[in-house]
A = this chain, B = another copy of it.
Amino acid sequence: MAVKTDDVHPNTASRQPLDRLDRKILSTLVEDATQSYAELGRKVGLSAPAVHERVKRLKRTGVIRKIAALIDGEAVDKNLLAFVHVDTSGWGKTPELLAVAEHPEVEEIHTVAGDTCLLLKVRARDARALEGLLARIYSAPGVIATRSYVVLSTYLERPPQPAHSVSWPVLEKWQANAGVSSQP
Contacts and interface: CB of A to CB of B under 8 A. Distances in A.
Interface residues of A, number: 91
Interface in A140-184: 147-165, 167, 170, 174, 177-184
A135 interface: no
Contacts of A114: 147-150
Contact of A154 (B2, B10, B81, B110): B110
Contacts of A94: 178
A152 B117 CA distance: 10
Given A111-B155, A154-B108, A34 B147 contact: no
How many copies of the shown chain assemble into the complex?
Answer: 2
Considering residues A10, A31, A163, which has the most beta carbons from chain B within 10 angstroms of its beta carbon? A163
B154 A104 contact: no
B101 A155 contact: yes
24 contacts: A30-B71, A31-B68, A32-B67, A33-B33, A34-B67, A62-B72, A63-B72, A65-B70, A93-B155, A95-B179, A95-B181, A98-B174, A101-B155, A102-B167, A102-B182, A102-B184, A106-B156, A107-B161, A109-B174, A110-B155, A111-B152, A112-B149, A114-B147, A114-B149
Given A1-B2, A123-B160, 12 more contacts: A2-B34, A12-B72, A30-B71, A61-B75, A76-B160, A76-B161, A76-B163, A98-B174, A98-B178, A101-B155, A108-B158, A111-B151
